[in-house]
C-alpha cells in the first residue's frame, strides 16, 4: 500500500530531475537523486522516474553513477521494456576509459534480472575477462556465474570455461578465487571445478598472497586433490605447515582439515597436526566473539573423540565465566567431563559444584548431570557432592540429583547402597515429571533397601487424582508392583487401591491397560509375576568402562570446519534418556530375563580352526576377507538393545581362561586390534563376563565372553564365546573370532 501523499512526492521529484537549472548544479542534482533512492528504500514506488534516472547516469560523477545503477537494478524486473533502453547506456559505460566505471557498469548490467538480458551482457562479460584492470576482471568472472544462474539449463559454453581456467593464473589473487567460485557454480552438475596437479601446486604457492577469506576458500578446494606419492604429499604438507598457526581461525581450521585429509594414511602426521593446532583452537575458545568461541568449543569436542588426552592439561581454559551465555557454558561442561583424570578430578568437581547453584535451572541441572557422568568413574567423590546438594531443598536441584542417582545406579551397581541412603534421607520429593519418574524407578527397583519407600509411594497414590502425567502414573504402577513382590505386607492395601482406581476411574487408556496387565498377572500367581517383573539383579562385579574408546580421526575429519560440529547432537557418551523412565525400567526387566537365558552354557562347538562352527558357512571363500574397524563407538544402551533383538549366530569354546589383567589393560589391548570393549568383570570374579563389539565388511558384531567357576562340577577352564551380527556375514564373523582369539591368547601368554 503506497504511502499517503506518495503521488505528490513522485511528481515533485520528477519536476526537479527534469529541471535544467537543477541539472546544471551538480551538487543539487545529486541530492535529488539521493532523495529518490531514499524514497525507494522506504517503500515508495518511484518507478515512474525510470527514464529520468537513466538520463542521470550520463555523468562523470562516480557517486551519482552508483546511485543511478542501484535504482536501475531495483526496477529493471518491474520495467523490462524501459530497462532495455538503459542497456545501451551501460554497454557504453563498459567501454569507458575509467576502469571503475567499466566495472560498475558491468556489475550492474549482470544484476538485471529480466528475460533476454543474456544476449546483451555476454559480449561485455567476455571482453571484461581480458580487461587490463584487475577490478574489471573480478567483476567479469562473477558475471560469468551470474549469466549461468540466469539460464542454468542451457548448454555450458566451453570457451568460457577454458577462459576461466586460464584466469586461475591471473596475477590478481581476488580474480583467482573468483574464478574458483564461478567454475564451481557453472560446473556444479559435472562435479564442480577440477583440481589437478598444476592447479593445486599453483594455488599452494599463491596462498601467501591471498587474504584470510580467500585462503580458507582455496584450502577447501584443495581437498579435492590427492598427491601421487609420499614425496609430493610431504612437500604439500610443508607448504601448509605455517598456516596451522594462522591468527585467523577460519584459515587454521581449513588448514587442519586439509592436513587430516591428506595424511589419512599417516596417523602420526595427523596426531602432530592436531597437537600443533591445539594453541590456535584454544585461542578460538577464548575469543571475545561468542560465535567464534562456540564454534571453537564444538571443534575441540570433535578432536577429543580421537585424542581425549590432548587438552587434559588445559582443563582450566574450559571453566565457565560468569558473563558467558548459557549455550557456551553447557558446551564447556561437556568438555570438562571428557578432560577429567586422577590429577584434576577434585578441582573439576569443585568447579562443577559451583555451577549447581546457578540462577539458570537449565545450567544447574546440566552441572549436576555432568557430576553424575564423572561419578561413573569417581563414584565416592561425586556421591558426596550430590548428597550435599539435596540439602539446598530447591525443586530443580532435587529433581536433577534424583535423576542422576537413577543413572548412577544403572551404570555403577556398587553405588546402590549409598544412593538408597541418600534417597531415604531426602525430605522433599521432586515436583517435575522427570524427577518423579526417576524417584519412582528407584523406589521400585531398590525399594527393599529404602525403609521409607512404602510411605513415599503412599503419598503418590493419595495424590493420584491430581496427577496429570500419564508417564508418572505408569511408573507408579510398576514401582508399586515391584515393591509389593518384595514387601507384600506393607504394600498390599496400597496396591489394591491403586489398581482399583486405575482400572475403574482412570481415563487414560495406557494407564488403564497397564493396570489390567498387572491385575491379570497377579491372578496367575505371585511367583509368575515375580519371574516377569523381577529379573536377576545387576552384577556388581561387572565394571562399565568409563568414557568412550578413541575414534579414528577419519570418522570426523571430513566434517571438521563445517557446520556439522555445531548442528549435530552430542550422542557420544550420552546418558540414558531421562524423559523415558518407563522404557528404562522395562529394558531392565527384559535385560534380567535375557540374562537368565543368556548365561546358560551354550552348546560347545569345535574350535574355529578345527572346522566350521555353528551358523558359519564355508561359502564365499574366494572373496577377500574383510578387516576389522572400530567405526562410530557403540553406546551401552544401543548394545543392549541390539543384543536383545538379535539371535546368536555363532557359539564356540575358546580353550583358555580369561586373561588376568585389569579392565583398562583389556580395553587398550582390544582397541589395538579394532575391538571396542564395553564391560568387563574383574579378573578374580566368577562367573567372569565380558561384552565387546566390532565392525567388518559393513557388518556389526556383538560378542559375549563367559567363564564359569572351574571348581564347579562339569565346568571347564575355558571361555564360552557367543556372537551376534547385523547383518549376517559369516566371513566377517570368522575374521572377528580369529582376531579376538589371538588378542586374548596374547594377553594370557604375557601373563605366563
User: Largest Cα–Cα distance of the chain, in whole Å?
Assistant: 117
- Please, what is the angle between helix 230-240 and helix 249-262, to 10°? 170
- Neighbour-count burial for 286-303, b at 16+ CB within 10 Å, e otherwise: eeeeeebbbbbbbbbbbb
Query: Do the domain assignments include residue 523?
Result: no
Would you state the pLDDT for residue 673?
82
Return the half-sphere exposure (C-beta side, CA atoms, 13 A cut-off) of residue 127. 15
What pTM, to 2 d.p., does this model score? 0.70
Per-residue pLDDT, 366: 95
Burial track 43-60 (b if 16+ CB lie within 10 A, e otherwise): ebebeebbebbbebbebe
Whether the Cβ atoms of residue 298 and residue 565 lie closer than 8 Å to each other:
yes
SS3 state at 74:
helix
Tell me, yes or no, whether 669 lies in a domain: yes
The residue range of the domain holding 707 is 599-751
Q: What CATH number is attached to the domain comprising 626?
A: 3.30.310.10
Q: What is the mean pLDDT of each run of 10 residues along the chain (752 residues)?
A: 63 85 86 89 83 82 85 79 75 86 86 74 88 92 87 83 92 93 90 91 92 92 91 92 90 93 90 92 92 93 89 92 92 93 92 92 94 90 91 90 91 88 83 91 89 89 87 92 89 90 90 92 88 70 56 84 77 39 35 30 29 36 65 79 87 81 76 83 77 86 80 64 87 86 77 52
Q: 681 lies in a domain?
A: yes
pLDDT of residue 622: 40
Q: What is the pLDDT of residue 574?
A: 42
Domain membership flag for residue 537: no
Given this model, what pLDDT does residue 590 score? 32
Q: What is the pLDDT of residue 549?
A: 65
pLDDT at position 583, please? 35
The SS3 assignment for 654 reads strand
In a domain, 316, yes or no: no
pLDDT at 617: 39
> Could you tell me if residue 684 is inside a domain?
yes
Q: Copy the grid coordinates of residue 438.
A: 526417576
Rg (CA), the chain: 35
Determine the Cα–Cα distance for residues 301 and 284; give it in Å rounded to an integer.
13
Beta bridge partners of 719: 654
Neighbours of 633 (CB within 10 A): 19
| 676 in a structural domain | yes
Residue 103 within a domain: no
**DSSP for 541-575?**
TEEEPPS-PPPPGGGTGGGTTSSHHHHS---TTPP
The secondary element (H helix, E strand) that includes residue 35 is: helix 26-41
Q: What is the pLDDT of residue 624?
A: 57
The total number of structural domains in the chain stands at: 1
CA distances 276 to 212, 259, 273, 483, Å, are: 19, 11, 5, 57
- pLDDT for res 46: 83
Residue 347 · residue 553 · CB < 8 Å: no
Amino acid at each position: 500500500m503506497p504511502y499517503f501523499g506518495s503521488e505528490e512526492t513522485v511528481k515533485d521529484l520528477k519536476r526537479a530531475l527534469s529541471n535544467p537549472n537543477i541539472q546544471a548544479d551538480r551538487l543539487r542534482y545529486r541530492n535529488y537523486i539521493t532523495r529518490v533512492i531514499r524514497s525507494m528504500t522506504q517503500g515508495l514506488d518511484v518507478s515512474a522516474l525510470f527514464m529520468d534516472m537513466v538520463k542521470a547516469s550520463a555523468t562523470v560523477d562516480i557517486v551519482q553513477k552508483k546511485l543511478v545503477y542501484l535504482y536501475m537494478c531495483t526496477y529493471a524486473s518491474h520495467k523490462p521494456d524501459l530497462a532495455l533502453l538503459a542497456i545501451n547506456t551501460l554497454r557504453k559505460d563498459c567501454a569507458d576509459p575509467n576502469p571503475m566505471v567499466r566495472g560498475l557498469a558491468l556489475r550492474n548490467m549482470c544484476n538485471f534480472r529480466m528475460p533476454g538480458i543474456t544476449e546483451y551482457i555476454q559480449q561485455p562479460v567476455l571482453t571484461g575477462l581480458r580487461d587490463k584492470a584487475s577490478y574489471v576482471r573480478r567483476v567479469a568472472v562473477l558475471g560469468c556465474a551470474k549469466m549461468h544462474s540466469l539460464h542454468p539449463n542451457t548448454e555450458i559454453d566451453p570457451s568460457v570455461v577454458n577462459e576461466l581456467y586460464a584466469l586461475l593464473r591471473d596475477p590478481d589473487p581476488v580474480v583467482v578465487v573468483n574464478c574458483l567460485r564461478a567454475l564451481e557454480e557453472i560446473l556444479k552438475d559435472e562435479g564442480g571445478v577440477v583440481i589437478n596437479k598444476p592447479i593445486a601446486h599453483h594455488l599452494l604457492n599463491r596462498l601467501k598472497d591471498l587474504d584470510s577469506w580467500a585462503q580458507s576458500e582455496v584450502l577447501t578446494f584443495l581437498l579435492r586433490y590427492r598427491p601421487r606419492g609420499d614425496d609430493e604429499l610431504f612437500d604439500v604438507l610443508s607448504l601448509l605447515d605455517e598456516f596451522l598457526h594462522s591468527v585467523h581461525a577460519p584459515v587454521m581450521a581449513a588448514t587442519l582439515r586439509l592436513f587430516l585429509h591428506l595424511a589419512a594414511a599417516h596417523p602420526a602426521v595427523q596426531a602432530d597436526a592436531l597437537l600443533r593446532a591445539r594453541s590456535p583452537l584454544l585461542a578460538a575458545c577464548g575469543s571475545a566473539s561468542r560465535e567464534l568461541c562456540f564454534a571453537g568449543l564444538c571443534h575441540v569436542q570433535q578432536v577429543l573423540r580421537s585424542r581425549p588426552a590432548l587438552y587434559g592439561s588445559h582443563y582450566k581454559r574450559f571453566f565457565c565465566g560468569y558473563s558467558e551465555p548459557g549455550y557456551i557454558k553447557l558446551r564447556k561442561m561437556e568438555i570438562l567431563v571428557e578432560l577429567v583424570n586422577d590429577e584434576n578430578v577434585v578441582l573439576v568437581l569443585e568447579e562443577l559444584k559451583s555451577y549447581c547453584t546457578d540462577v539458570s535451572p537449565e545450567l544447574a541441572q546440566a552441572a549436576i548431570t555432568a557430576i553424575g557422568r564423572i561419578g561413573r568413574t569417581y563414584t565416592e567423590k561425586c556421591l558426596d557432592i550430590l548428597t550435599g546438594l539435596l540439602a539446598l531443598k530447591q525443586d530443580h536441584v532435587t529433581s536433577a540429583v534424583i535423576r542422576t542417582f537413577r543413572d548412577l545406579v544403572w551404570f555403577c551397581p556398587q553405588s546402590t547402597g549409598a544412593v538408597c541412603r541418600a534417597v531415604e534421607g531426602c525430605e522433599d520429593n521432586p515436583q517435575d515429571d522427570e524427577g518423579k519418574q526417576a524417584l519412582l524407578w528407584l523406589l521400585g527397583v531398590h525399594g527393599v533397601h529404602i525403609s521409607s519407600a512404602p510411605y513415599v509411594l503412599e503419598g503418590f497414590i493419595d495424590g493420584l487424582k491430581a496427577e496429570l502425567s500419564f508417564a508418572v502414573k505408569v511408573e507408579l504402577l510398576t514401582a508399586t508392583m515391584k515393591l509389593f513382590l518384595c514387601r507384600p505386607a506393607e504394600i498390599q492395601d496400597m496396591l489394591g487401591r491403586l489398581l482399583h482406581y486405575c482400572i475403574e476411574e482412570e481415563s487414560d487408556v495406557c494407564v488403564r491397560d497397564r493396570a489390567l496387565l498387572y491385575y491379570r498377572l497377579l491372578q496367575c500367581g505371585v511367583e509368575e509375576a515375580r519371574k516377569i517383573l523381577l529379573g536377576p539383579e545387576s552384577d556388581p562385579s561387572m565394571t562399565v568402562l568409563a568414557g568412550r574408546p578413541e575414534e579414528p580421526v577419519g570418522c570426523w575429519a571430513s566434517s571438521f570446519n563445517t557446520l556439522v560440529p555445531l548442528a549435530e547432537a552430542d550422542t557420544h557418551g550420552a546418558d540414558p534418556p531421562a524423559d523415558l523412565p518407563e522404557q528404562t525400567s522395562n529394558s531392565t526387566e527384559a535385560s534380567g530375563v535375557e540374562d537368565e537365558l543368556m548365561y546358560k552354557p551354550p552348546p560347545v562347538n569345535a574350535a574355529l580352526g578345527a572346522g566350521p562352527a555353528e551358523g558359519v558357512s564355508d561359502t564365499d571363500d574366494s572373496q577377500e576377507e574383510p578387516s576389522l574397524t572400530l567405526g562410530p563407538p557403540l553406546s551401552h544402551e544401543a548394545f543392549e538393545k541390539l543384543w536383545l533383538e538379535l539371535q546368536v549366530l555363532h557359539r564356540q569354546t575358546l580353550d583358555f581362561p580369561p586373561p588376568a589383567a585389569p579392565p583398562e589393560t583389556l580395553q587398550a589391548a582390544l582397541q589395538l586390534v579394532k575391538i571396542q570393549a564395553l564391560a568387563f568383570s574383574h579378573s578374580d570374579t566368577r562367573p567372569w563376563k565380558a561384552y565387546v563389539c566390532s565392525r567388518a565388511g559393513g557388518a556389526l558384531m556383538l560378542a559375549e565372553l563367559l567363564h564359569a567357576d572351574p571348581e564347579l562340577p562339569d565346568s571347564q577352564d575355558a571361555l564360552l564365546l557367543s556372537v551376534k551380527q547385523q547383518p549376517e556375514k559369516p566371513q566377517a564373523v570368522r575374521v572377528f573370532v580369529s582376531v579376538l582369539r589371538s588378542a586374548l591368547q596374547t594377553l594370557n601368554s604375557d601373563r605366563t
